[in-house]
Amino acid sequence: MEVSGSSAFYSGLSSIQSGQNRVDAAAGKIASAATSQPSDALNDRLRAAEGNQQSNSASNMVEMAQGKFQVELGAKVAKASNEMLGTLIDTYA
């Protein structure tokens, strides 16, 4: 039996990387929104859009949580694939 690279293992690693990228992007958006200091001329326009900004912050927090779950699930897929490969090697060795 020929054993090549496990596509499930690489799918798990890809999921981990995608989840990390999702968390990084959402955290960057939250940090940039928190550190931006608007001028007095923009305050009136920003007050009108403040509800929208709060929903953006909430959606960024949701994105971070989704990224966390994506990383966790990717790690589980990679671990299960690794264990399965070890079982196959033990069985056929």
Task: Report which of residues 68 and 42 the model is more confident about.
Answer: 68
- In angstroms, the Cα distances linking 12 to 2, 27, 62, 84 are 22, 22, 21, 14
In this prediction, residue 56 carries a pLDDT of 80
Cβ within 8 Å of residue 70, ≥6 positions away:
15, 16, 18, 19, 22
DSSP per-residue codes, 40-88: HHHHHHHHHTHHHHHHHHHHHHHHHHHHHHHHHHHHHHHHHHHHHHHHH
Q: Which amino acid is at 55?
A: S
pTM: 0.68
In this prediction, residue 49 carries a pLDDT of 56
Domain-wise residue ranges, the chain: 7-92
In this prediction, residue 30 carries a pLDDT of 85
In this prediction, residue 8 carries a pLDDT of 87
Per-residue pLDDT at 86 exceeds 70: yes
Q: Which amino acid is at 54?
A: Q
